[in-house]
Structures are given as C-alpha cells and as structure tokens.
Structure 1
Amino acid sequence: MNNKAVILGCNYYIGLSTIRCLGINGVHTVAVDYSNKHTYGADSKYTSERLIAPHYKEDTAAFIQFLKDYARKQSAPPVLIPCHDSYLEVIDEHLSELREHYLIPQDEPGIYTNMMNKEVLQRLALENGVAVPETVRVDENNFYEKIDQIIKFPCIVKPTDSPSFVAKFRRKLFKVHNRAELEQALADAQEANLEVIVQRIIPGFDDHMYTFDAYLNQDSKVTHWVTCQKFRQYPINFGASVYTGQKYVPELFEIGAPFLEKMKWKGFAEIEFKKDAETGKFYLIEVNCRITNLNNLLYKVGVNFPWITYQELTGNIVPPKAVKENTNRVFWYGYEDMLAIRDYIKAGQLTWKQVLGSLFKPKAYAIWDWKDPKPAFSYASIIGGKFMNKLLRR
C-alpha cells in the first residue's frame, strides 16, 4: 500500500481509534498534531510516523503549506483523515487545493461547514422532511413571545458553530431555566462574538439519544451503516457519549440514509437523533462529519469506517455491510463515565443498581487495548498529572 494515511489530531481517542483501525490492516499511519503534549493517541504501536505541524488556527497558512509539502514528498497521494471538527473546518476552507495533494472523500467545498452549522443544518433538514427541534433565532421578531409560546423553559442555547463555542466555553451549549438565564446566555455569546440559536428540549432521558453511523460512496449512496443507542453522556444530558450500545433501529436508516444521499454526501457521517419520550418521533439533533467517538464500537461490531474510507479512496471497494442485529456490545469511556455516573446519581437520574447492572456487557473501550496498551498508560499519566496539580493548588 503506497498511500499513507495522514491522521489529524491524536490528543483524543478518536485519533487513536482511527490509527488502530488503519494500522491493523497494514496502512502506514501518520499522526499529525501541533504539539507533543497529551498526544497519547500517537503512542499506539500502529503509528508509523509522528509529525508536528503549525497550529491549524494560529497559523492556518503555514499548516496548509505543511500538509502540501508533506504530500509532495510521497510516492502516492496520502488519504487525509481529520479527527476533530476544527481540523475539518480548515480542510473545508482549503478543500480544493488540498485535493490536489490528498485523497479526501468530499469534493464540494463548503459541505462540511454547512452540515456542522446548526442553523444551516436545521434548514436543510426541514427542506427534506426531517424533523428537528423547534428553533428560534435571536434576531427574530417577537423573540421572547416565541420563547414563551413555542420553545418554553427550560430550553437550550446552541451555537451555530460548535467548535468555536466549545473552545470558548468548554461545553456544547447552555441550558437555561428562565428569562434571566436566557438573557445572560445570550449576552455571554454576544460578548464572545458567537452566533447562537434557541431550541426546545425534546423530552426524554439520555437513553433516548440514538446515532445513525454511515459511509456513503463516491456516488453518494449509503453502503455501510450501524445504529446505536446512547445510555450515558458527560457532561450529563447534553454532553459527549461515554457509554453507548449498538442497537439495530431500522427507522434511523429510513430517515438518515435518504437525507444524506439528498445532501450528496460522500464519506463517513454520523447523525444524532433524539426520540421524543411522549410521541416516539425521532428528531435530528446534529451531524458529526468526522470519525465518531464511537468508532471503536463500530469496528468491534464489524464495520471499520476508517478502513472503508481508505479502501474506497485508493480504488479498493469494500463490500456493503449493515449491522442488522443486536450485538449487546457497548462503547465505554471509563474515566468520564465514572464522572457521569457520579452526576447522574447526584441528580437522582440513575440508581447504583441501574449503573452496576450496565457494567457487565461486552465492551469496546475508548482507549484500552490489550494488544496496544501504551496509549492507556500515557492517558493515565495525563490524568494523574491533572489530579496532582489540583492537589498542589489546594
């Protein structure tokens, strides 16, 4: 295999999982980060090369030039796989010039950014008959009247640009319970120069969150897919998955596949849905355009999305596959799940009996792997260092 795989962002387990999914198949993997700090994903035995690039936002021009210079030295175009939304935004902005040097699933500039923009995504979903939570824009007429009559409290204030919002506030959204909290959230967003929208909260506990994970070929047809059910998130209720199980839900395919195909999507995508606890209706919440947190679970149940991507882009088609059974396997991010369990129990949303009963299912670990243990030890060292710093500051 002459084509290398350049993986952007290995300071998180998404990059680690991607490296493993490719390296186990003999692909030459190149871990790219802007710093050596906390890049435990690159400690995998499946990492073939490690590179330090200019920071993708602090010096975007130098970062793009770095990628192009690296690709020019190779005997065949590398496959480019971003493992963080911020990298994806930069790639989208420079898609045309990067495609001259790299193999990338998408060929339409702007499609990644549009799908990640919550306001644009809502419009696209509604235009194509996919339900989304009721939403009010901040500059609409009779804003507070619409909040009281349509949205109601509590509600959520969401960014249109998630990566910038998370970078600023270290959270995905604001949950507000009254007008005073709403006004404060809007003021905070305005001060940070970040655009936000206000949405109704779809009723239902965290186990009403589902995902449709799919690969679309270069003809924009779904060829591979898996559906999953979330059980726990961190931060609780509006965070990232820390305990999620594979579950066959054909209705998610019936909603998600036509939508992505109409969007002319190519490559991997994950649609997050929430099932209304009162009506049973599925609402589209967001679309993840890069490899998902759940990637190791998807791999363990038989669908290796990074490898499928690599194979198609290098001219080797992988036969279509869908997981149409319940495997009982769960994705588990142990460290943050412990924090989540603490908060769920404190909030009275789960009992210890419910939690303990959930811990005996076969797992796809976020970080640990018996055959590749070094990243887990590196991660443990990072967490240990954080605890020591907290103790020393007291």
Structure 2
Amino acid sequence: MNNKAVILGSNYYIGLSTIRCLGEHGIHTVAVDYSTKNTYAADSKYVSEKLVVPHYKEDPAGFIRYLKDYASMQSAPPVLIPCHDNYVEVIDEYLEELRESYLIPQTEKGIYTRLMNKEMLERAAIEKGVAVPETVRVDEEDYLAKVAQTIKYPCLVKPSDSPAFVAKFRRKLFKVYYEQELVEAVEKSRQAGLEVIVQRIIPGFDDHMYTFDAYLNQESKVTHWVTCQKFRQYPINFGASVYTGQKYVPELYEIGAKFLEDMKYKGFAEIEFKKDAETGKFYLIEVNVRITNLNVLLNKAGVNIPYITYRELTGSPVEPYAVKKDTNLVFWYAYEDLLAIKGYLKTKQLTFGQVFKSFFKPKAYAIWDWRDPKPAFSFLSITLGKMFGKNSRG
C-alpha cells in the first residue's frame, strides 16, 4: 500500500487509537501536530513519520500549503484523517483544494459544518423528521417568555460552534436554573462573539445517552455500524464519554442511518442520542464528524473505522459489518473517569457499589495497550508535569 495515512492531531487519545488502528495493519502512519508538546500519541510504535505543521487557526493558509506540499512529494495520494473538530472545520473550508492532493471521504463542501453547527443541525434534523430537544433562539422576540413557557427551567445554553465555545469556556454548555442566570450566560457568550441557543433538558441520567457510530461509503450508504450506551461522562452529566459500553439498539440504526443517508453524508459519523426517561423517545443531541472518543471500543467490537476509511478510499473496501449483539465491552478513560466518579458520588447520582461493580467488565482502554506501552508512560509524565505546573501547550 503506497498511500500513507496522514493523521491530524497527536495530543489526545483519539489520534493515538487512529494510529494504532492503521499501524497494526502495516499502514504507513504520519502523526501531524502543530507542536511537539504533549503529543503522546506520536510516541506510538505504530507511527512511521512525524510532522510539525503551522497552527491550523493562527496560520490556516500555511497549514494547508504545508499539507499540499507534503502530499506532492508522495508517490500516491495520502488518506487524510482529522482527529479533532478544529481540523475538520479547516478541512471543510479548504475541501476542494485538499481533495486535489488527498483522499477524503466527504466530497461536498459544507456538510461537515452543517452537522457540527448546532443551529444548522437542528434545522436539518427537523427537516428529516428526527426528534431534537425543544429549542428557542436568543434572537427571537420575547425569547425569555418562550423559554419560561415551552422549555422551562433548568435548561441548557448551547453553542452553535462547539469547538470555539469549548476553547473559550472549557465546557460544552451552560446549565441555567432561572431567568437571570440565562441572561448572564447569553451575555457572556455574546461578549465572546459566540452564538448560542436555549434547549430543554431531556430527562434521564447519563446512562440514557446513546451513540450510533457508522461508516457511509461513497454512495452514502451505511456499510458498518455499532451502537453504544454511555454510563459515565466528564464533566458529569454534560461531558465527554469516559466509561461507555457497546450496546445493541436496533432503533438507533433505524433513525441514524436514514438521517445520515438522507443528508448524503460520506465517511464516519457518530450521532449522540438521549432517551427520554419518561417517554422512551430518542432525541438527537449532536453529531461528531471526526473519529470518535470511542474509536478503540468500536475497533475491539469489530468495526475498525480508520481502517475501513483507508481501505475504501484506496480502492479495496472492507466487507460490510454491523455489531448486532451485546459484547459487554466498555470504553474506559481512567484519568477522567476517576474525576467523574468523584462527582457522581458527591452528588449521590451513583453509589460506591455501582461504581465498584462496573470495573469488572472487559475494557477497551483509551490510552493503555500492553503491545504499545510508550504513549501511556508519556501521558503519565505529561499529567504529572501539569500537576506541578509544567508542560502546558501553547
């Protein structure tokens, strides 16, 4: 295989799992980042090459030029795989230009952005008949009255542009309990130049969160899929997966596959749903259009998304496959899960017995792999460094 795999982002375990998923099949992997600081994924034994590139936000034109120059020196077009939302945004903006040099699943500019932007996603979901939480826009007339009447408190203030919001506030959203808090959250967002919407909280504990993870081929047909159930998140209640299990839920395929196929989507996507604890109805919460946090779990369950992507784009597709049983496997990001457990126990949302029992399931570890241990030791070194005030990334 002459096509290299260029993996964007090596300072997080998503990049690490992507590198491993490809490297274990003998594919030449290129770990790309704008810094050498905290890039523990690049320490994997499966990394064939490392590149330090211009910053995607500070110098996007330089970043794109570097990628194109690199591709021009290769004997075959590399496969481009982003492992962070910010990289996806840049790829979407320069999609036509990058497709001249790289193999990328998506062919239509704007689809990534449409699914990542909360307002655009809500409109697309309603258009396709998929349930989303009731929403009020803050630029509507009498929006405060509408929130009080239709959404009620507490409610969520969510950004249209998640990556920018997280970069600014270090959280995914604001949970507000009364009108004054809502006004303050909206004003804080406005001052940061960020658009927000207000949404109803779908009732149910964190284990009512589910995912539909799928790969769609170049005909926009789902060929591979897995469904999962979250158990713990960090920050608790409105964070990222830290302890999530594979769980076969056919209904999620019925909703998710139709939505993505109707959108003419290509490549990998993960839809997050929440099941209403009172009605049992599934609501679409968000869509991830880059490799998921749960990638290592999907791979262990039999669906290697980076490899499936690579094989299809290089002309030898993998046979379609879906995980239509419960494997009992769980994804575990130990570092943040321990922080989450502290929060769940403190707020009495979980008991010590429930937490203890959960540790005995077979695991897909976010970072640790006995066949490739160096990244875990690098991560430990970085974490200890942060505790003592060193190793922060610019």
The answer to whether the superposition gives a TM-score over 0.5 is yes
Distance 1:387 1:318 in 2: 44
- 1:180 Cα shift? 1.2
SS in 1 for 2:37: coil
Letter in 1 for 2:178: N
- 1:388 Cα shift? 1.9
Letter in 2 for 1:53: V
After superposition, give the CA deviation of every residue in 1:141-160 in whole Å (9 maximum; x if it has no partner).
22111111111100000000
State the partner residue of 2:333.
333
Q: How does 1:379-394 map to 2 (within 5 A)?
A: 379-389=379-389
State the partner residue of 1:60.
60
- 1:23 Cα shift? 0.3
State the partner residue of 1:184.
184
TM-score (norm 2): 0.98
- 1:389 Cα shift? 2.5
State the partner residue of 1:299.
299
State the partner residue of 1:120.
120
Q: How does 1:106-145 map to 2 (within 5 A)?
A: 106-145=106-145
Which 4+ stretches in 1 moved above 2 angstroms?
none
Q: How does 1:31-70 map to 2 (within 5 A)?
A: 31-70=31-70
Letter in 2 for 1:141: E
State the partner residue of 2:75.
75
State the partner residue of 1:98.
98
Unaligned runs of 5+ in 1: none
- 1:190 Cα shift? 0.4
Distance 2:251 2:114 in 1: 25
Structure 2 residue 225 is matched with structure 1 residue 225: yes
SS in 2 for 1:225: strand
Distance 2:310 2:388 in 1: 41
SS in 2 for 1:183: helix
State the partner residue of 1:149.
149
- 1:335 Cα shift? 0.5
Letter in 1 for 2:200: R
SS in 1 for 2:341: helix
SS in 1 for 2:211: strand
After superposition, give the CA deviation of every residue in 1:55-110 in whole Å (9 maximum; x if it has no partner).
00000100000000000000000000000000000000000000000000001011
Distance 2:63 2:314 in 1: 24
Q: How does 1:342-353 map to 2 (within 5 A)?
A: 342-353=342-353
Structure 2 residue 184 is matched with structure 1 residue 194: no
Distance 1:181 1:344 in 2: 24
Distance 1:358 1:182 in 2: 36
Distance 2:98 2:211 in 1: 30
Distance 2:256 2:141 in 1: 32
State the partner residue of 2:317.
317
Structure 2 residue 3 is matched with structure 1 residue 3: yes
TM-score (norm 1): 0.98
Q: How does 1:241-256 map to 2 (within 5 A)?
A: 241-256=241-256
Aligned length, in residue pairs: 390
Distance 1:356 1:252 in 2: 29
> Percent identical across equivalent pairs?
76
After superposition, give the CA deviation of every residue in 1:322-361 in whole Å (9 maximum; x if it has no partner).
0000000000000100000000000110110000000100
State the partner residue of 1:235.
235
Distance 1:85 1:39 in 2: 17
Distance 1:388 1:222 in 2: 47
Letter in 2 for 1:194: L
State the partner residue of 2:371.
371
Unaligned runs of 5+ in 2: none
- 1:132 Cα shift? 0.1
